[in-house]
A and B are shown apart, each in its own frame.
Chain A
Amino acid sequence: MIPLSWYLALSAVLFTIGVVGVIIKRNAISMFMCIELMLNAVNLTFVAFSSYFNDVTGQLFVFIVMTVAAAEAAVGLGIIITVFRNRESLDVDDASLLKF
């Protein structure tokens, strides 16, 4: 069997790529997809621990995380469409009305 730490390392690499993407991307939809990648990295950690410690709780939490991700997709994409309708742009730098 593969050591648990391999899965954790892979998950950390995926999470880091997601963080870097959120920081350097300026397109709202691309940032959204990077957030989905981070959620998936966490899911991989949950499933790996669940399998190695023989406890089903981790997989139940993966189920709940997926539900939250689906709700986030529905509301987040609604917000993105509303912003695009008002500003004709998906660039997050253009939506800076509340910025000091």
Chain B
Amino acid sequence: MLDLIPTFFFVLFGALAVGCALSMVVQRNPLYSAISLIGVFVSLACLYVMLAAPFIAAVQVIVYAGAIMVLVVFVIMLLNVEEEVQRPLRLRYLVPVAVALAFVLIAEVAFMLSSIPRQNPIPSNVGSTLSIGSGLFTEYILPFEITSVLILMAIVGAMTLARRTAILSPTARVVPGAQVLTRQTVDPRAVGDATAVESDTTEEAERLMGLGSKARRSDGE
């Protein structure tokens, strides 16, 4: 028989998650969507606690509701996204197709759920940090290490995408280790000049630009 209190909390947090998810899709302002998504993450974290997975619940709040959503909100505010303009969809049939596919998906899941045998769960405590850590660092060490390579690729990719580079001339050669800066970066007076300045050290750049020679001479005297 169902216990009353777990059922109550499941219905509470499940309804909260579904409500926040619906609100996320319905909202036109991306910032409100982001805040609704945080609601989904937090209610899912509560469900993880009910499923005896406290470590995953904590990571959910810290990584998802903390790090990832801060990044998303930061980008929304950086790009100054206003409300989506209500423009006519180029693919007008997309909304009915989406709703129809959603019903098909739900029907499939309902069919599958009706066909699985009902079972009485055993209370488990597999979600402790101890069991997760021992599993992660013994049996699943290879996926864990591959994950670190993935993170490294993400770092390099994000930096490559975000970098603003100087416009190099076709004959330019770049020595590994050399710096390639825009003239604007080296010389504050050259506003908007994106000519590439290639150098090995700061002194080399100053000598190429004809900058700072007087200052250094006065230091030497």
Interface residues of A (CB under 8 A from B): 1-10, 12-21, 23-27, 29-30, 32-34, 36-37, 40, 43-44, 47-48, 50-52, 54-57, 59-60, 62-64, 66-75, 77-82, 84, 90, 93
Contacts and interface: CB of A to CB of B under 8 A. Distances in A.
Interface stretch (B52-60, B185-193, B205-213): B52-60
B48 A23 contact: no
A26 B84 contact: yes
B29 to A, nearest CB: 10
A42 to B, nearest CB: 11
Report whether over half of chain A's contact residues are helix, strand or loop; otherwise say mixed: helix
Interface of B: 2-3, 6-7, 10, 14, 17-18, 21-22, 24-25, 30, 33-34, 37, 40-41, 44, 47-48, 50-53, 55-56, 59-60, 63-64, 67-68, 71-72, 75-76, 78-79, 81, 84, 89-90, 94-95, 97-99, 101-102, 105-106, 109-110, 113, 116, 118-124, 126-127, 131-132, 135-136, 140, 143-144, 147, 150-151, 153-155, 157-158, 161-162
Contacts, number: 219
A20 B94 contact: no
